[in-house]
Structure 1
Amino acid sequence: MEFLSEYGLFLAKVVTIVAALLVIIGFAVANREHLKERMQGHISVTHLNDRYEEMKEILLEAVLDKGEFSHRKKELAKEKKAREKALAKARKERQKAEKSAKKTDSSALESTDTPVPEQAEADAEAGEQHPAAVSAAPERKGRRRIFVMHFDGDIKASALSQLREEITAILQVAERGDEVVVCLESPGGMVANYGLAASQLARVRGAGVRLTIAVDKVAASGGYMMACVADRILAAPFAMLGSIGVLAQLPNFNRLLKRHDVDFELFTAGEYKRTVTMFGENTREGREKFQSDLEDIHQLFQHFIAEYRPKLDIAKVATGEVWFGQRALDLGLVDELKTSDEYLTRCAQDSELYQVEYKEKRNIARKMGLAAQAGVESALMRLFSRLAAWRHQAQ
């Protein structure tokens, strides 16, 4: 019996060590694979018109009798066929126009005298292009196309990696007359991350494609920095917008460390390399410099918004306050009160809607990690909801 007991303890130790090693190896492999996954993602496109038609057909089947539904189904099929025929015709006309434009460009190049090297070099230095080398993109004919994206932002703007891929894909095919709609939800976060996200959206306007941003819940701080880039901002009646300000907060443990006889030494090169710190003793000069930096970022934030929304009274709204839909409309933060669903379903009547999504491949380890994270977040949300309910009942 003593032998079996010792053997059991030994076996338990071995199993524990092996399990720990497997966990460590799993984390290492998951981190390495995560870098590869980002290069292995793919673009997914959903034709929203078909999705709306399917929903409509299911409901019609439920509310109509068989005869009426059969008749209505035939009408819907005819409408769909006519729409597809019109799209095919517009596509052929566009291809014909592109071929004609290419022939015109090539003939213009052949009939133009070749510039002498000195003149060509001078033109290059002046940043000029030969007129025949510039061809305008053809105007879109037929039903316009609307490309729909979703951005659900966190403090790090993690969805930025998908956003940049989606925009790059869309701009490969978008033409004048098309539109990009971004359904944006974000409370804001890191300045540099959201600044880059806003710059990605600016690529759409820079390409001459109309940009519309729809906010159903919240676009505050960095979220509004992204939203202001749009040609048009839509907001739900109780969506939260604004928070045009800059926030920084951190605890300081210096007195706690001193109380326990712990010294903390910080070495820097450069007068303002470190202005405030969590463990060292902060000085008045350091605090003033840190506050000055925040004010400078705030000024940059205001100038960025004013560039895209020049009619907005920036001094009135750049107070860090948040406004709900109707108040935001009165102040000029948004252009129209409308939910994204209402806007898209109405556009589907005369436009082709394509939802574009960049999906990253995830291995089993990453899927399990995301599932665990979602489980913890769900449990915490339920706990907070119950605590809030109990508090409300107690009052």
Structure 2
Amino acid sequence: MDLLSNYGLFLARVVTIVLAIVVVVTVIVNLSQRKRQQRGELRMTRLSEQYDDMKEEVAAAMMDSHQQKQWHKAQKKKHKQEAKAAKARAKQGEFDASGKPVLWVMDFKGSMDAQEVSSLREEITAVLSVAKPKDEVLLRLESPGGVVHGYGLAASQLQRLRAHKIPLTVAVDKVAASGGYMMACVADRIIAAPFSIIGSIGVVAQIPNINRLLKRNDIDVELHTAGQYKRTLTVLGENTEEGRQKFREDLNETHKLFKDFVHSMRPSLDVDAVATGEHWFGIQALEKGLVDEIGTSDDALLERMKDYEVINLHYVERKKMVQRLTGAAAESADRLLLRWWQRGGSPLP
């Protein structure tokens, strides 16, 4: 019995030690993963290689079986020679195989709060850190606009490229309205699809007020502020004509800042003629000087692949489970709002 009890005690100690080690290792691994997750990940895709692969696959598909066999044999030999040459260059310290300048491609599909600017800033910082002379940037932009401060920051991020004299082209396949156009106008060149929606240089705000409903139900609302215009219009309280006037003044001031910004980016544009809050299709926008060229982002990329190495940059933020859930809910709300806007036919603020 003593032997069995001693063995059981020994076994319990071993299990306890093993469990303790497992817990410590798990904690260390989780902490290291959290550190990595806080940073996110920058992903690069060589669009030039993807295009070449697609072109070769299509060409091979049009051959008969005998030709395909010979073609695959030739391709295998070619790839082997290229790998050998790349290895030799790497040994000599040469890492730029093509010698071509790079066209850095980014994507911005903007939500109402322009939360995508957090990824955009990382992508632009990455480009600025490695860009060589003659490198350029192409931004595929899609946004109906949103909050002023969010899109103001997004436009400021694009201005970093302009400040470093890196040519920027913005391609609009669907929509760049209001805050979206605020971003687009920073570019040296704007390409728009024929029926893309461009413009909406204006500012709008609306606030519901349920004060009369509350009064009918004998509900009082008290609002205390320090500062005459700390709160101009409210949802619950009774709004005053003075508050409404101040609110309109703030909107007009924001609109003026918007117009001045567009004019500074595109001096030749008649801003007063287009800053009415209206939007136009791409063809009309070209006539008014809002864009420089009619076309799609696809054609712009294909044209540049002759002379540039085309690389797509995409910064992926690592989010916790709660952030993923709330982010998914926000994306759903944005999609519903965009669908409502498309049916109504008017760009968002």
TM-score between both structures, scaled by the size of structure 2:
0.77
Q: What is residue 249 of structure 2 aligned with on the other side?
A: 292
- Count residues with an aligned counterpart: 300
CA distance in 2, matches of 1:49, 1:63: 22
Identical aligned residues as a percent:
49
Residues in 1 aligned to 2:309 and 2:268: alpha-carbon distance in whole angstroms:
32
In 2, Cα distance between equivalents of 1:264 and 1:372: 31
Of 247, 262, 267, which residue of structure 1 is paired with 2:204?
247
Runs of 4+ aligned structure 1 residues displaced above 6 Å come to 35-38, 91-95, 371-378
**1:176/1:370 Cα in 2 relative to 1: closer, same or farther (>3 Å)?**
same
1:273 aligned residue (224, 227, 230): 230
- Once the two structures are superposed, residues 14-72 of structure 1 have per-residue CA deviations (whole angstroms, 9 ceiling, x without a partner) of xxxxxxxxxxxxxxxxxxxxx97762301101111111122122222222223444566
Q: Offset at 1:369?
A: 6.2
- CA deviations 1:255-278 (Å, max 9, x no partner) are 000000000111011111111111
CA distance in 1, matches of 2:113, 2:126: 23
Q: Secondary structure at the match of 1:265?
A: coil
Contact 1:145 1:351 in 2 (8 A): yes
SS at match of 2:306: coil
Pairing partner for 1:211 from 161, 168, 182? 168
The amino acid of 1:296's aligned partner reads E
Work out the CA distance in 1 between the residues paired with 2:243 and 2:257: 21
For residue 172 of structure 1, give the secondary structure of its aligned residue in structure 2.
Answer: helix
3-state SS of 1:289 partner: helix
User: Separation in 2 of the partners of 1:225 and 1:199?
Assistant: 10
Whole-Å separation in 2 of the counterparts to 1:376 and 1:301: 26
Residue 143 (structure 1) aligned with residue 100 (structure 2): yes
Specify the SS of the correspondent of 1:189: coil
User: Which has the higher relative contact order, 1 or 2, with Cα contacts under 8 A spaced 6 or more apart?
Assistant: 2
Q: Which amino acid aligns with 1:334?
A: V
Q: Secondary structure at the match of 1:278?
A: coil
| Cα distance, 1:62–1:240 mapped onto 2, change above 3 Å | same
Equivalent residue runs for 1:120-269 within 5 Å: 142-269=99-226
Q: How is 1:1-395 mapped onto 2 (pairs within 5 angstroms)?
A: 39-69=38-68, 74=74, 81=82, 142-363=99-320
Distance 1:273 1:371, change over 3 A: closer
Alpha-carbon distance change, 263 to 369 in structure 1, aligned in 2, over 3 angstroms: closer
Gaps of 5+ in 2: 1-33, 344-349
- Residue 148 of structure 1 aligns to a residue whose secondary structure is strand
Give the CA deviation at 1:344.
0.5
Q: What letter corresponds to residue 310 of structure 2 in structure 1?
A: L
Instruction: Give the Cα–Cα distance (whole angstroms) in 2 for the partners of residues 289 and 317 of structure 1.
Output: 25
| 1:37–1:360 Cα contact (<8 Å) kept | no
Instruction: Give unpaired runs (5+ residues) of structure 1.
Output: 1-34, 96-140, 389-395
Distance, in Å, in 1 between the alignment partners of 2:47 and 2:288 is 33
Secondary structure of 2:39 counterpart: coil
Q: Which amino acid aligns with 1:358?
A: Y
* Cα distance in 1 for residues equivalent to 2:180 and 2:212: 37
Change in CA separation of 1:68 and 1:175 when aligned onto 2, cut-off 3 Å: same
Q: Secondary structure at the match of 2:212?
A: helix
